[in-house]
Structure 1
Amino acid sequence: MSAPLELPEQTLHNKIALVSGSSSGIGAEIGRELAARGANVVLNYPGPSLQERAEALAASLPTKSVAIEADLSTTDGPKTLADAAAKEFGRIDILVNNAALAVNKPFEEQTLDDWDLLVNLNGRGTFLLTQATLPHLPKHGGRIVNIVSISAREAPALQTIYAGSKGMVDSFTKVWAKELPPKYGVTVNAVSPGPTMTEGFIQAGEEFMQKIRPVIERTPVGGRAGKPEEIAYAVRFLCEPRASWINGLHLMANGGLYIH
């Protein structure tokens, strides 16, 4: 008879974690990682076409987890998501601002539609979701983790608007890490992935892949893209109770491709 599988240490037992943009990719992996440590996870998807996938993921997690539809690129979507999460569980202990999109085009070809798409989701969506979450945080011990990108600092070609929008979130993290802990008992940190092998990354287009391939190959730890679970582990580390003295950290999870 085989020995029963042992669960990882339940360091996040009964915590409530809201992960935006989490029906697939890095967000889904963050949801799995936090649930494996005992957190109840609120997954988020932007529209009906992803409902079945998000609900299947929620059902597969080992804790009480739900999937909530909310388009964070709208002005009311972030509050809808935060309020629905709080209604379901009574509070939000952990907020992971993950939802984002990228457009990879030469600067001359980027448009106002691209600007609105990326800035409204990556920048404004993070801003509004964090505001909407603050009333639902516990008095002490809350966590906010922003998923940024090395693009905000490494500045690759074809990513003018994406890099700029992630630069906003980079700056948000610094400001909030000073402003919010005294008021809300929360820590605020960021994780910056490098190129990570998600579905969205694979679908970025051949021109972008040709440009990014040499970048990936010079990653010091190994000439490969990151894995979503490697990013998720970095996020989970910042959510741990023992990470209570880590605040304002910009954790680079990219194999040393970019070091600051």
Structure 2
Amino acid sequence: MTSSSKPLSTSIAIPQALPTLAGKVAIISGSCSGIGAAIAIELSSRGCNVVINYPSPSLQPQAVALSNSLITRAITVCADISSIEGPQTLVNEAVKEFGKVDILVNNAAIAINLPLEEQTMEHWDSLVNLNGRGTFLLTQAVLPHLSRKESRIVNIDSISSRAAPALQTIYAGTKGMVDSFTRCWAKELPPKYGCTVNAVSPGPTMTEGFAAAGEPFMKMMQPVLDQTPVGPRMAKPDEIAFAVGFLCEPRASWINGLNLTASGGLFID
């Protein structure tokens, strides 16, 4: 018997060179700056058409500049996700332009760092209405329009939801809501809508907001950053965006209910 020089056949699929999300449509709330903008760039680089959301008319030039920089089709939509009407407005404009939604990234959020005694009902309303209710309403609004084929919902959580840092009572609480939403929806929604539901939990990330906090704040943060195993620094927004992109890939179809922590090991659950 002679051995054959022909290679053994394999059933492993070889990734194609074509953009993996070509033809997909993604809504990213709060996406004209920071992590949201980085997610828009990441998904566009994978071939995805993008709906960029900004909350007020003053941010339109920033949103349009981002849209013009992308390599795929993109539209910009002014919609305040903390309002009752904003989430539905965002979805309506997306569907009007593209006819469907394949990916929803619930990114819009704000934070406040104050002692418990100094946190007010105004803080409560602004954080709960955007971080919690906004995520809830936007997800509800998008469900009838999901493509039902390899569709994805990705919630931007935070390590604060589980690490429970001081000075973040309301913020950590709202991100705890997002964490629980992810777990509930990962069980409830896939059988009905053919989607997966996951979360990405960033640690401290160098966004415009952090940069504007100034040098004194950064000095205060440094002891925390020094505890990060991968390196004593903040994350870059594109590092968080890559985690989101991974969960949106067609080949991530068996990943559901995951809270993917992207903190350089600062928090390990």
TM (norm. structure 1) is 0.95
Q: Distance in 2 between matches of 1:205 and 1:113?
A: 24
In structure 2, the residue matched to 1:173 is 182
Output aligned runs, 1:132-151, within 5 Å: 132-151=141-160
Q: Which residue of 2 aligns with 1:17?
A: 26
1:216·1:224 contact (CA, 8 Å) conserved in 2? yes
User: 1:112 corresponds to which residue?
Assistant: 121
1:49 aligns with 2:36: no
Answer yes or no: is 1:201 the counterpart of 2:210.
yes
Q: Deviations over 1:125-159 (max 9, x none)?
A: 00000000001101221100000000111111111
Counterpart CA distance in 2 for 1:168 and 1:206 is 32
Q: In structure 1, what is the Cα distance between the partners aligned to 2:40 and 2:176? A: 24
Is 1:33–2:42 an aligned residue pair? yes
SS in 2 for 1:196: coil
Specify the alignment match of 2:134 in structure 1.
125
TM superposition shift of 1:33: 0.4
Structure 2 partner of 1:247: 256
- Within the candidate set 65, 69, 75, 1:60 is matched to 69
Q: Secondary structure at the match of 2:167?
A: coil
Counterpart in the other structure of 2:10: none
**1:164 alignment counterpart:** 173
Matched, 1:227 2:231: no
Please list every run of 5 or more consecutive structure 2 residues that lacks an aligned counterpart in the other structure.
Answer: 1-16
Percent of paired sites with the same residue: 68
Considering only aligned residues, what root-mean-square deviation do their CA atoms show, in Å?
Answer: 1.2
Q: Secondary structure at the match of 1:190?
A: strand
Separation of aligned partners in 1, 2:110 and 2:216 = 17
- Does the 8 Å CA contact 1:104/1:204 hold for their aligned counterparts? no
* Alpha-carbon distance in structure 1 between the residues aligned to 2:39 and 2:181: 21
Deviation at 1:207, TM superposition (A): 7.0
Residue 11 (structure 2) aligns with: none
CA separation of 1:9 and 1:229: change in aligned 2, threshold 3 A: farther
How much has 1:212 moved relative to structure 2? 2.8
Q: Distance in 2 between matches of 1:194 and 1:155?
A: 12
Distance 1:211 1:153, change over 3 A: farther
- Are the aligned partners of 1:16 and 1:40 in contact in 2 as well (CA < 8 Å)? yes
Q: Are the equivalent residues in 2 in contact too, given 1:158–1:208 (CA < 8 A)?
A: no
* 2:108 alignment partner in structure 1: 99
Distance 2:217 2:188 in 1: 38
Pair 1:80-2:89 in alignment: yes
Supply the AA of the counterpart residue of 1:113.
Answer: E
* Ranges of 4+ aligned residues in structure 1 off by more than 6 Å: none
Q: 8 Å contact 2:222–2:232 — kept in the other structure?
A: no
Query: Cα distance 1:204–1:106, how it changes in 2: closer, same or farther (>3 A)?
Result: farther
Give the count of matched residue pairs. Answer: 253
CA distance in 2, matches of 1:206, 1:114: 25
Please state whether the residue corresponding to 2:165 is helix, strand or coil. coil
Residue 205 of structure 1 deviates from its aligned partner by: 6.3
